[in-house]
C-alpha cells in the first residue's frame, strides 16, 4: 500500500499525478506538488537520517530550508549532491535519494555506538583528546578516523557536468519572500507602477498561506493567492522568480539570489542551466522572509516524530499528509493551537496540548477554538522528555501537581518564532531583543524594509497590513495610495511565554542544535570552561555551524549561555549573520566563467596560420602565442633551437601583434614622454624611434618598449604584451589628473594593428622584395620609421615599417591593419622562402633575447630592480625630471651591494637548473646564503652552451668569477661563470649593418 | 558590490571601475625634499569615515575622477570630476 498517510482531500497537491521515487533503495510513490519530505511522510517513513556526531536516528523536523535533520544525498545518473534538505527537494518522477552518515544502513547503524559512548564525547572532545602527542602529525593520523565517523554526505568527485548561468537585473523594489506579507507588499508596490521583482524559495507563491482556510478580501486564501499572483504575472513591470532564494545582501543594495531552474524536472531540457545566480540591484528591498519556529530543549527532543508545530500544520494543510496518528503539541504560544486544530481536522488524534503558560494566559481566540473542539489542554505544563527507539512512542508531561505519560507518535513543538533577518543584518540593520516575544527584532532602519513576521508582526492580518505598508513605502516612500490593505479576520492572540529548555534527569540529551548535535549540557560545559563569548561558544561547540546555520536552534543556545553566565540575552548578543542564507552550489558562482572561459582569450590576426602550420601555443597574458613550429618528428625544444639558430644564420619572422600599441597625438607629446619615460624624447625626430624605460613613482622599473615619431604631433608607443593595460591606465591617469594642461590624446590600438618582426642577416634581402621603398642602410638606417606598402597577392597593403631589433640581428617590424595581418604574414613567408626564412615562436625569441641580454619586465625587472641594476642607468636622463626619478636618489637604491644583471655560462656541460639561486658553496647546509638568482635561462644553440641571465649582488664586479647555481627543489647544481649580460655581438654591429 | 557614480556615465557597478588610491596626496614639485617624496609615495592615512579616493571608469568612459566614500559603511557621499571640488573642499 502506498501513501497510507495521504489525506483523501485538501492540500495543494495533484493526486491524479503520481510520481515514483526511490529512497535508500526502496521505491515509493508521491504526488505532484510533494517535496521529498512530504512524500516520505505520506508513506509513513519517519526515520530518514542519522545525526552528525552521535548517529542518533532522526526524522523530518521542519518543512522548509531551516530543516536541520533530514539531509539527503541526491543522485541523478552519475551526478550526486550531498546535504540537501528533503524539505527543499521537489518530487519528480524517478527521483533517487539516499540517507547519509550511516553504515551499513539507516536502520542498523554501527556508528550509533557513539551515542552510547556519548558521555565520553562532550563538546571539545576532539580538541582535548587528540592533542597527545602534541604534534601535527599525530593529529593528522587521528583526523582520518574522526572524519570517517563524523560528517554528512559525500561530495561528487567528477567534474561538475552541469551548466550554471549568471543573470543581472535592476528594479525599483525587490521583494524577498512570496508569502502573505510579500504578496501584499508586491500588490501594493505594483499598484504604483514601479519595476518590481518578487522571489520565493518555494515553487509556488503563497508561503504559509498555501492550503490554509482563511478568507481574505472576501475570498478564500487559495483564490486570493491565485488572483494576486495572476495580477502580478500579467503586469509587464513585475518579474516573479519562484524557486529562488535570496542568499546575500551586499553593498549598494545588491542582492545575490540562487534560482533552482531545472532541479525539479525529471528530464531537464538539454543545455538548460541547472541553477542561475542572480545579481539584482534594487532601489529598495522588502524583506518578507517570515519567521522560523524554535524548538525547546527537552530530553530526547530529537526522536523521529518530533516536528516543529508550524511544519506539522504545513504537512497537513499544504501536502495533505498525516505526520502521525496520535499527537502531543508542546507550546509556549498560541500558534501551535492552529496545528492542533489542523491535526484534528486531518483525523490525527490529539493526545494533549501541553502549554507552558498558566491557565489565565491561555486566552487567545485559537485556544478558545481548541477548547471548543474538545482538545485536551494541560496548562502550566511542560514536556520533560520523550521516549522511543526509532520513533517517539510517548512523552512525560510535568504539571504543577503531577507527571504523567502520554502515548504518541508525533510531538509538535513550538518554542516561539524568530524573525528571519539575515539579509537585514547583512545590510547593516541592527537588531534589538524583545523580551515579550523572546525574539530579536529589527531595530535601526537600513535599506532593507522587513515586513510581516520578519518584522515581528505575527498572524495573517498583521502580515497582510504590514506587507502592504512596506510595499508602499518601498515603492513611493509612503505616498498615499487609493489601494487598501487586504483584509482578513484578526485573531486575538495571547502573549507567549519564554521557555528555552526543560530540565530533566542527568544524562538525557536535550538538543539545542540538531544538525551539529549540540546539547544544552554542551552549552553549560562551554560556559563553565570559560567560552562565554558567543563567538567562542559557537566555535567550541559548533553551535550553528552546520549547513542550516542554526536556523531553529541558535537563539536557544544564546539564551542558555545567558542563563549559565547570569547575563541577559542582549548582553550575550548574537553571532554575525553572513551570506549565504542557505548553501549555494559552488558551480553557480563561476557560472559560465569556468574552464576555458575563466578569462577571455586573445588571438592575433595570424593565429589560424600558426595553427595550420603546427605551432604549439603558450599563454602570454590573455594572448595565445606560438611557442615554436615543430616539424614532423621534432620536439618543441628542438624546433625552438632550430628556429633560433636560423635567425642568426639566415632570417626568421615572429608574430609580435601582441605587443601593446598606443598612439599618442597632440602638441605636447614630446614633453609628456619626457615626464613619463626616464630617457629623453624632445630630441627624437620624425621618422625615428627610440627604446624607452618607464619608472614607477618609487623609481623601480615599470615597463619598457619603443616609441616612434610618425609625424610632428603623432607618435606610436609599444609596451610589453602583459603590461599594455597597466601602461595605458598609467598614461591616462597622468594626463587626466596630473597634467590636464598638456595637449595629448592617447588611444590603444593594440587590436587594430597586426605586426611581424623580421630578423636575421638576410632580413633586408627579404624586405626589399616585399616593400615598395628603399630599405638600404643609407635610406633606412637603424631606428628608422616609415610608411610603405607590402606587396601581397591580392594587392598591396599599407604598412608601418620600424627598424628595431630584439634578437640583436638586422631586424624590422612590419605593422599592418589587423584585417591584413594574415596576408602580410603570408607575403613575408613567401618572400623569405629563397633565403631560408623560418617562422619562429616565443621560445626562440626568448633564447635570442637572453643571448643578447635584453631584459623582460617581470623576469629581470621584477618590481624591485632599478634601471641601474639592469645596466640601463644611462637611460635615466640627468637633465630632466621624470616620474620616479626623485626617489631614485635614495641611498638603498644606490648601494654598492645591489643585485645587478649579469650573464651566466654553465661550466662542465651541465644544464642550468630551473629557478636556481646563486651561492658560493653548493653543499653548505641550509640556509645557504644567497648572492642572487637566475631570472631567465636557456640552451643557446648559437653558443652551444647553457646560459642564463641573473641578478647577482655586486654582479658587475664579479665578471670572470665562478660561482654555483643551485636548485634545492630540483636537487641540481652547476658551476657557472659570471660575465656581462650580453653573449653575442656586444657592440651591436649586426643590427646596424 | 559598490554602486559608483561616474560623473560622466552615472551610477555603475564597481566591476566597471579600477581603484586608484588616496586622492588627497599630491605629487610634490620636482625639487621637493626627499621626505616630501617619501610621504607622497608611501604615507597614507587610513581614516574610519569619509575618504577621498580616485577611481577610473576603466570598463566605461575611461575617465579618472574622485569619490568620497565612508570607509565604515561604504556609502558614497560625493563625486567630482578632476579639478572640480568635492563638498567642503577649499575653493
CB–CB contact B37 A251 (8 Å) = no
Residue where a domain stops, chosen among A434, A460, A476: A476
Give chain A's radius of gyration (CA, Å). 38
Q: Are residues A174 and A286 in the same domain?
A: yes
Q: Does A747 touch chain B (CB under 8 A)?
A: no
The band of A306, judged by pLDDT with boundaries at 50, 70 and 90, is: very high
What are the CA-CA distances from residue A427 to residues A178, A450, A682, B45 (Å)?
20, 12, 55, 27
- Beta pairing, strands A392-398 & A382-388: antiparallel
Q: Which residue of A428, A732, A886 is in closest CB contact with B64?
A: A732
Q: Strands (DSSP E) along A818-944, which ranges?
A: 838-839, 899-906, 917-919, 932-940
Within this chain, do residues A649 and A665 fall inside the same structural domain, yes or no? no
Mean pLDDT of A948-962: 97
Q: Which residues of B touch A729 (CB under 8 A)?
A: 18, 56, 58
Residue A642 covered by a domain: yes
Q: What's the CATH number where A703 sits?
A: 3.30.70.1400
Question: Residues A301, A405: one domain?
Answer: yes
Q: Are residues A687 and A828 in the same domain?
A: no
Residue A866: inside a domain, yes or no? no
Whether residues A177 and A318 share a domain: the answer is no
Q: Percent of chain A having pLDDT more than 70?
A: 96
Instruction: Check CB contact under 8 Å for B82 and A698.
Output: no
Looking at the structure of chain A, the number of domains it has is 7
Do A889 and B32 lie within an 8 Å CB cutoff? Answer: no
Nearest CB partner across the interface for A250, out of B1, B28, B58: B1
Average pLDDT over residues A800-829: 98
Q: How far is B3 from chain A (nearest CA, A)?
A: 5
Cβ distance B78 to B87 under 8 Å? yes
Q: What is the pLDDT of residue A941?
A: 97
CB A313 within 8 A of CB A211: no
pLDDT 10s digits, A259-298: 999 999 999 998 899 999 999 999 999 999 999 999 999 9
Q: Place A810 in a pLDDT band, splitting at 50, 70 and 90.
A: very high
Q: What is the pLDDT of residue A857?
A: 93
Q: Is residue A139 part of a domain?
A: no
Q: In this structure, are residues A155 and A178 in contact, taking their beta carbons and an 8 Å threshold?
A: no
Helices A534-541 and A554-565, packing angle to 10 deg: 120
Domain boundaries, chain B: 3-80
Query: A349: Cβ–Cβ under 8 A, 6 or more apart, which residues?
Result: A325, A326, A327
pLDDT of residue A296: 97
CA–CA distance, A707 with A727 (Å, rounded to integer): 13
Judge whether A668 lies within some domain. Answer: yes
Q: Is residue A947's pLDDT more than 80?
A: yes
DSSP A325: S
Per the domain annotation, does A2 fall within a domain?
A: no
Domain's final residue, options A390, A414, A438: A414
Residue A698 and residue A96: Cα distance in Å, rounded?
63
Are A174 and A281 in the same domain? yes
Whole-number pLDDT of residue A142: 65
Nearest chain B CA: its distance from A625 CA (Å)? 25
Q: What pLDDT, in 10s, does the model give residues A879-928?
A: 999 999 999 999 999 999 999 999 999 999 889 988 899 999 999 988 99
On average, the pLDDT of chain A sits at 94
Q: Number of Cβ pairs closer than 8 Å across A and B?
A: 55
pLDDT tens by residue, A26-65 = 999 999 999 999 999 999 999 999 998 889 999 999 999 9
pLDDT band at A106 (very low <50, low <70, confident <90, very high): confident
Judge whether A695 and A864 are in contact, CB under 8 Å: no
pLDDT of residue A257: 98
| pLDDT above 80 (res B12) | yes
pLDDT surpassing 70 at residue A77: yes
The residue-averaged pLDDT of A220-225 equals 96
Chain A nearest CA to B50, separation (Å): 16
Smallest CA-to-CA distance from A521 within A145, A48, A100, A54 is with: A54
* In a shared domain, residues A456 and A556: no
- pLDDT above 60 for A1: no
List, in order, residues 6 or more apart from A135 with CB less than 8 Å away.
Answer: none
- Give residue A134's pLDDT band: very low, low, confident or very high (50, 70, 90): low
Q: What confidence score (pLDDT) does residue A145 get?
A: 63
The alpha-carbon gap from A753 to the nearest alpha carbon of chain B, in Å, equals: 21
Q: Are residues A276 and A333 in the same domain?
A: no
Q: What is the CATH number of the domain that holds A305?
A: 3.50.50.60
Same structural domain, A273 and A172: yes
Q: Which residue has the cell 586622492?
A: B23
With cut-offs at 50, 70 and 90, classify the pLDDT of residue A630.
very high
Question: Is residue A19 over pLDDT 90?
Answer: yes
**Per residue, what are the HEC states of A558-590?**
HHHHHHHHCCCHHHHCCCCCCCCCCCCCHHHCC
Is a pLDDT exceeding 50 seen at residue A391?
A: yes
Q: Is the pLDDT of residue B84 over 60?
A: yes
CATH of domain B3-80: 3.30.2270.10
Q: Is B24 touching A (CB cutoff 8 A)?
A: no
pLDDT tens digits along A174-215:
999 999 999 999 999 999 999 999 999 999 999 999 988 899
pLDDT confidence bin for A120, thresholds 50/70/90: low
Q: Average per-residue pLDDT in chain B?
A: 94
* pLDDT of A79 higher than 90: no
Please give the Cα distance from A285 to A818 (Å, whole number). 49
A965 in a structural domain: yes
Residues A410 and A318 in one domain: yes
Residue contact B3–A251, C-beta within 8 A: yes
Q: Domain ends where: A365, A384, A414?
A: A414
Q: Is the backbone peptide bond immediately before A702 cis, with ω within 30 degrees of 0? A: no
Do A470 and A579 lie in one domain? The reply is no
pLDDT at position A522: 94
Please check the confidence at residue A389 and state whether its pLDDT lies above 60.
Answer: yes
Contact B21, B61 (CB under 8 A): no
Q: Using 50, 70 and 90 to split pLDDT, how confident is the model at A138? A: low
Quick check: B13 and A281 CB within 8 A? Answer: yes
On whether residue A981 sits in a domain, the answer given is: yes
Task: Categorize the per-residue pLDDT at A687 as very low, low, confident or very high, splitting at 50, 70 and 90.
Answer: very high
Q: Is the CB of B32 inside 8 Å of chain A's CB atoms?
A: yes
- Please give the share of chain A, as a percent, with pLDDT higher than 90: 86
* Cell numbers placing A100: 547519509
State the pLDDT confidence band at A119, using cuts at 50, 70 and 90. Answer: low
Q: Which domain holds residue A564?
A: 500-591
Indicate if A229 and A187 belong to the same structural domain: yes
Task: Sort strands A196-199 and A164-176 into parallel, antiparallel or unpaired.
Answer: parallel
Amino acid at each position: 500500500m502506498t501513501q497510507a498517510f495521504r489525506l483523501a482531500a485538501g492540500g495543494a497537491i495533484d493526486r491524479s499525478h503520481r510520481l515514483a521515487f526511490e529512497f535508500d533503495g526502496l521505491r515509493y510513490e508521491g504526488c505532484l506538488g510533494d517535496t521529498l519530505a512530504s512524500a516520505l511522510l505520506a508513506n509513513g517513513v519517519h526515520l530518514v537520517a542519522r545525526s552528525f556526531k552521535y548517529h542518533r536516528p532522526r526524522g523530518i523536523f521542519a518543512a522548509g530550508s531551516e530543516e536541520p535533520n533530514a539531509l539527503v544525498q541526491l543522485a541523478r545518473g552519475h551526478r550526486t549532491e550531498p546535504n540537501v534538505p528533503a524539505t527543499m527537494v521537489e518530487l519528480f518522477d524517478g527521483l533517487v535519494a539516499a540517507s547519509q552518515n550511516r553504515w551499513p544502513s539507516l536502520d542498523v547503524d554501527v556508528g550509533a555506538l557513539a551515542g552510547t559512548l556519548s558521555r565520553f564525547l562532550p563538546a571539545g572532545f576532539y580538541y582535548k583528546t587528540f592533542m597527545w602527542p602534541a604534534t601535527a602529525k599525530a593529529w593528522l593520523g587521528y583526523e582520518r578516523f574522526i572524519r570517517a565517523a563524523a560528517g554528512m554526505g559525500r561530495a561528487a568527485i567528477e567534474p561538475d557536468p552541469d551548466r550554471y548561468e549568471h543573470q543581472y537585473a535592476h528594479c525599483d523594489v525587490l521583494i524577498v519572500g512570496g508569502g502573505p506579507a510579500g504578496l501584499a507588499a508586491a500588490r501594493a508596490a505594483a499598484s504604483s507602477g514601479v519595476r518590481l521583482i518578487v522571489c520565493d524559495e518555494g515553487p509556488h507563491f503563497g508561503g504559509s498561506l498555501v492550503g490554509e482556510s482563511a478568507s481574505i478580501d472576501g475570498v478564500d486564501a487559495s483564490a486570493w493567492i491565485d488572483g494576486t499572483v495572476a495580477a502580478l504575472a500579467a503586469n509587464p513591470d513585475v518579474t516573479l522568480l519562484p524557486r529562488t532564494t535570496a542568499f546575500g545582501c551586499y553593498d549598494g543594495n545588491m542582492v545575490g539570489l540562487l534560482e533552482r531552474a531545472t532541479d525539479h524536472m525529471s528530464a531537464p531540457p538539454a543545455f538548460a542551466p541547472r541553477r542561475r545566480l542572480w545579481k539584482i540591484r534594487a532601489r529598495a528591498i522588502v524583506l518578507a522572509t517570515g519567521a522560523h519556529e524554535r524548538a525547546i530543549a527537552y530530553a530526547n527532543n530529537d526522536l523521529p516524530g518530533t516536528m516543529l508545530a508550524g511544519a506539522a500544520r504545513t504537512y497537513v494543510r499544504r501536502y495533505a499528509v498525516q505526520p502521525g496518528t496520535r499527537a502531543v503539541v508542546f507550546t509556549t504560544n498560541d500558534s501551535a493551537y492552529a496545528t492542533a486544530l489542523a491535526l484534528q481536522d486531518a483525523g490525527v488524534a490529539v493526545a494533549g496540548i501541553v502549554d507552558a503558560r498558566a491557565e489565565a494566559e491561555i486566552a487567545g481566540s485559537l485556544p478558545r477554538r481548541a477548547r471548543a473542539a474538545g482538545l485536551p489542554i494541560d496548562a502550566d505544563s511542560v514536556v520533560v522528555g520523550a521516549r522511543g527507539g526509532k520513533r517517539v512512542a510517548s512523552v512525560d508531561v510535568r504539571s504543577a501537581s503531577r507527571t504523567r505519560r502520554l502515548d504518541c507518535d508525533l510531538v509538535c513543538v513550538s518554542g516561539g518564532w524568530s524573525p528571519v533577518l539575515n539579509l537585514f543584518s547583512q545590510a547593516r540593520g541592527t537588531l534589538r531583543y524583545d523580551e515579550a516575544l523572546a525574539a530579536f527584532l529589527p531595530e535601526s532602519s537600513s535599506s532593507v524594509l522587513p515586513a510581516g513576521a520578519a518584522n515581528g508582526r505575527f498572524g495573517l492580518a498583521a502580515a497582510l497590513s504590514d506587507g502592504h505598508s512596506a510595499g508602499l513605502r518601498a515603492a513611493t516612500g509612503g505616498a498615499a495610495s487609493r489601494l487598501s490593505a487586504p483584509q482578513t479576520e484578526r485573531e486575538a492572540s495571547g502573549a507567549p511565554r519564554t521557555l528555552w529548555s526543560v530540565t530533566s534527569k542527568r544524562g538525557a540529551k536535550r538538543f539545542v542544535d540538531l544538525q551539529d548535535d549540540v546539547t544544552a549540557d554542551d552549552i553549560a560545559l562551554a560556559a563553565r570552561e570559560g567560552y562565554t563569548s558567543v563567538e567562542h561558544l559557537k566555535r567550541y561547540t559548533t553551535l550553528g555551524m552546520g549547513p542550516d546555520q542554526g536556523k531553529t536552534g541558535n537563539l536557544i543556545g544564546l539564551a542558555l549561555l545567558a542563563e549559565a553566565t547570569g547575563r541577559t540575552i542582549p548582553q550575550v548578543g548574537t553571532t554575525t549573520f553572513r551570506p549565504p542564507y542557505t548553501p549555494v552550489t559552488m558551480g553557480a558562482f563561476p557560472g559560465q566563467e569556468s574552464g576555458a572561459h575563466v578569462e577571455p582569450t586573445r588571438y592575433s590576426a595570424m593565429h589560424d596560420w600558426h595553427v595550420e602550420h603546427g605551432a604549439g601555443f603558450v599563454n602570454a597574458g590573455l594572448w595565445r602565442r606560438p611557442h615554436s613550429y615543430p616539424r614532423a618528428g621534432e620536439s618543441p625544444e628542438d624546433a625552438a633551437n632550430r628556429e633560433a639558430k636560423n635567425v642568426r644564420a639566415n632570417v626568421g619572422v615572429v608574430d609580435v601583434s601582441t605587443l601593446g600599441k598606443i598612439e599618442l597625438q597632440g602638441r605636447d607629446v614630446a614633453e609628456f614622454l619626457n615626464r613619463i619615460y626616464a630617457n629623453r624624447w624632445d630630441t627624437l625626430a620624425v621618422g625615428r624611434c627610440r627604446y624607452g624605460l618607464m619608472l614607477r613613482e618609487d623609481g623601480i622599473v615599470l615597463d619598457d618598449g619603443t616609441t616612434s615619431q610618425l609625424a610632428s604631433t603623432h607618435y606610436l608607443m609599444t609596451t610589453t604584451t602583459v603590461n599594455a593595460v597597466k601602461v595605458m591606465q598609467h598614461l591616462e591617469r597622468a594626463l587626466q589628473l596630473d597634467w590636464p594642461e598638456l595637449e595629448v590624446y592617447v588611444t590603444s590600438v593594440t587590436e587594430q594593428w597586426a605586426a611581424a618582426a623580421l630578423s636575421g642577416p638576410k632580413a633586408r634581402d627579404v624586405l626589399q622584395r616585399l616593400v615598395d621603398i628603399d630599405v638600404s642602410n643609407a635610406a633606412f638606417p637603424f631606428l628608422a620609421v616609415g610608411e610603405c606598402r607590402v606587396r601581397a597577392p591580392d594587392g598591396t597593403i599599407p604598412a608601418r615599417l620600424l627598424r628595431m631589433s630584439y634578437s640583436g640581428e638586422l631586424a624590422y617590424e612590419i605593422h599592418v591593419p589587423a584585417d591584413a595581418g594574415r596576408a602580410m604574414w603570408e607575403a613575408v613567408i613567401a618572400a623569405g622562402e629563397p633565403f631560408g626564412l623560418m617562422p619562429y615562436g616565443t621560445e626562440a625569441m626568448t633564447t635570442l633575447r637572453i643571448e643578447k641580454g635584453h631584459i623582460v619586465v617581470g623576469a629581470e625587472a621584477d618590481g624591485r630592480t632599478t634601471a641601474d641594476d639592469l645596466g640601463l642607468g644611462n637611460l635615466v636622463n640627468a637633465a630632466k625630471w621624470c616620474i620616479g626619478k626623485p626617489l631614485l636618489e635614495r641611498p638603498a637604491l644606490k648601494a654598492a651591494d645591489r643585485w645587478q644583471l649579469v650573464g651566466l655560462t654553465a661550466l662542465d656541460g651541465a644544464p642550468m637548473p630551473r629557478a636556481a639561486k646563486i651561492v658560493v658553496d653548493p653543499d653548505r647546509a641550509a640556509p645557504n646564503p644567497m648572492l642572487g638568482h637566475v631570472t631567465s635561462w636557456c640552451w643557446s644553440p648559437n653558443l652551444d652552451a647553457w646560459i642564463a641571465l641573473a641578478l647577482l649582488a655586486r654582479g658587475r664586479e664579479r665578471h670572470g668569477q665562478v660561482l654555483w647555481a643551485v636548485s634545492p627543489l630540483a636537487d641540481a647544481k652547476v658551476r657557472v661563470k659570471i660575465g656581462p649580460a650580453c653573449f653575442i655581438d656586444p657592440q651591436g654591429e649586426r643590427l646596424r649593418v | 558590490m559598490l554602486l559608483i557614480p561616474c560623473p560622466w556615465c552615472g551610477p555603475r557597478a564597481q566591476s566597471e571601475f579600477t581603484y586608484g588610491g588616496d586622492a588627497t596626496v599630491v605629487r610634490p614639485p620636482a625639487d621637493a625634499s626627499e621626505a616630501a617624496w617619501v610621504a607622497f609615495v608611501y604615507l597614507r592615512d587610513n581614516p574610519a569615515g569619509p575618504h577621498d579616493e580616485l577611481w577610473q571608469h576603466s570598463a566605461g568612459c575611461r575617465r579618472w575622477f574622485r569619490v568620497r566614500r565612508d570607509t565604515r559603511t561604504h556609502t558614497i557621499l560625493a563625486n567630482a570630476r578632476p579639478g572640480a571640488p568635492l563638498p567642503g573642499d577649499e575653493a
